[in-house]
């Protein structure tokens, strides 16, 4: 009983804050078209998702690339597949029209720093600059504030991660399935085979759409993943799915996205006594 008014007060305070958002106080900052959505998670880092649904997250780093990113977008569109793009700030500033296309076709954008330097060795102030400059470029290009980031090379300390979560509300998104598609010799087969062999429900798959071999590997890779029954979700969708599944399990409810049981529940439709004998199977 005691905490209910507190929770209510906290909710009211949050809605009051949202309602009081200053309309044009920050004249120097570009006005986002979409309001920032509060972080959907308090988990600081994800390498994979713990889900029972056959959902996976395909991620493409270091773009946008003027030729390969549009080619990849065509392939994804043709198959109705959503992915996540971790973009480099300076390339966002160079190719804003590709950034707009990524967002308009329903994919997610993550912050991948301004120029892809290792964050580990940097001061927190410099890290904040890298991420802020990139966030500003993304907002200027497409009007969306990113909700996630990926440290270049996956290199980040827990202390830095915590500071980034506090300032930007970004969880660190790394990966589980590594195509190593940046290493020479690059090949279509290596990308395809690694993904098909290593992917399971909840996997975060790391690819780079700046390499044409990676993009060339996608049609067969995507079709075969689909044939295996995988569903493609963005990172933010996966974060929500994982949280929803945890809640459903705690509440004893069926998992979201899971196929509902074919048979009607016994308590809803009690079978008449006459039908107690086993039914003949067709």
Q: Write out the residues near Ni ion by the rule CB under 5 A.
A: 61-62, 152
Residue 111 or 236 with smaller CB distance to Ni ion = 111
State the Cα–Cα distance between residues 29 and 37, nearest whole angstrom: 18
Choose between 55 and 133: whose C-beta lies nearer to Ni ion: 133
Q: List the catalytic residue out of 107, 112, 208, 211.
A: 208
Q: In the complex, what is the shortest distance from the CB of residue 227 to Ni ion, in angstroms, rounded to a whole number?
A: 29
For residue 91, the minimal CB distance to Ni ion (Å) is: 11
61 classed as catalytic: yes
As measured in angstroms, the least distance from the Cβ of 11 to Ni ion is 39
In whole angstroms, the minimum distance from the beta carbon of 20 to Ni ion comes to 38
Cβ(20)–Cβ(147) under 8 Å? no
Question: For residues 181 and 245, which CB has a smaller minimum distance to Ni ion in the complex?
Answer: 181
**C-beta closer to Ni ion: residue 110 or 152:** 152
**Of the residues 61, 62, 136, 216, which is catalytic?**
61
User: Which residue in the shown chain puts its C-beta closest to Ni ion?
Assistant: 61
Is 276 part of the annotated catalytic residue set? no
Structure tokens at 7: 């929770």
Residues 6 or more apart whose CB falls under 8 angstroms from that of 58 comprise 81, 83, 84, 205, 207, 232
3-state SS, one letter per residue, for the chain: CCHHHHHHHHHHHHHHHHHCCCCCCCCCCCCCCCCCCCCCCCCCEECECCCCCCEEEEEEEEECCCCHHHHHHHHHHHHCCCCEEEECHHHHHHCHHHHHHHHHCCCEEEECCCCCCCCCCCCHHHHHHHHHHHHHHHHHHHCCCCCCECCHHHCCCHHHHHHHHHHHCCCEECCCEECCCCCCCCCHHHHHHHHHHHCCCCEEEEEECCCHHHHHHHHHHHHHHHHCCCEECCHHHHHHHHHHHHHHHHHCCCCCCCCCCCCCCCCCCCCCHHHHCCCCCC
User: Is 61 or 209 the residue whose CB approaches Ni ion more closely?
Assistant: 61
From the CB of 171, what's the least distance to Ni ion, in Å? 17
CB of 72 to Ni ion, least distance (A): 16
55-63/204-208 β-pairing = parallel
Nearer to Ni ion, 175 or 232 (CB): 175
Residues recognised as catalytic: 61, 208
């Amino acid at each position: 009983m005691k905490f209910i008014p507190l929770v209510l007060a906290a909710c009211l305070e949050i809605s009051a804050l949202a309602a009081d958002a200053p309309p044009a106080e920050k004249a120097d900052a570009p006005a986002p078209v979409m309001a920032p959505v509060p972080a959907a998670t308090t988990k600081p880092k994800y390498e994979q998702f713990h889900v029972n649904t056959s959902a996976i997250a395909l991620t493409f780093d270091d773009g946008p690339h003027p030729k390969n990113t549009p080619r990849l977008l065509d392939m994804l569109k043709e198959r109705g597949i959503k992915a996540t793009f971790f973009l480099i700030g300076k390339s966002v500033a160079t190719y804003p029209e590709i950034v707009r296309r990524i967002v308009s076709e329903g994919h997610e954008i993550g912050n991948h720093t301004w120029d892809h330097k290792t964050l580990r060795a940097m001061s927190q102030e410099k890290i904040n600059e890298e991420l802020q400059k990139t966030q500003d470029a993304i907002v200027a290009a497409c009007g969306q504030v990113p909700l996630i980031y990926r440290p270049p090379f996956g290199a980040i300390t827990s202390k830095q991660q915590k500071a980034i979560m506090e300032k930007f509300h970004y969880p660190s998104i790394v990966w589980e399935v590594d195509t190593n598609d940046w290493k020479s010799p690059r090949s279509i087969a290596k990308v395809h085979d690694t993904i098909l062999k290593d992917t399971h429900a909840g996997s975060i798959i790391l690819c780079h759409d700046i390499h044409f071999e990676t993009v060339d590997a996608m049609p067969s890779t995507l079709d075969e993943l689909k044939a295996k029954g995988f569903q493609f979700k963005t990172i933010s969708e996966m974060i929500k799915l994982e949280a929803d599944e945890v809640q459903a399990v705690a509440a004893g409810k069926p998992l979201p996205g899971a196929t509902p049981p074919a048979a009607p529940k016994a308590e809803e439709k009690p079978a008449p006594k006459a039908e107690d004998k086993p039914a003949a199977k067709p």
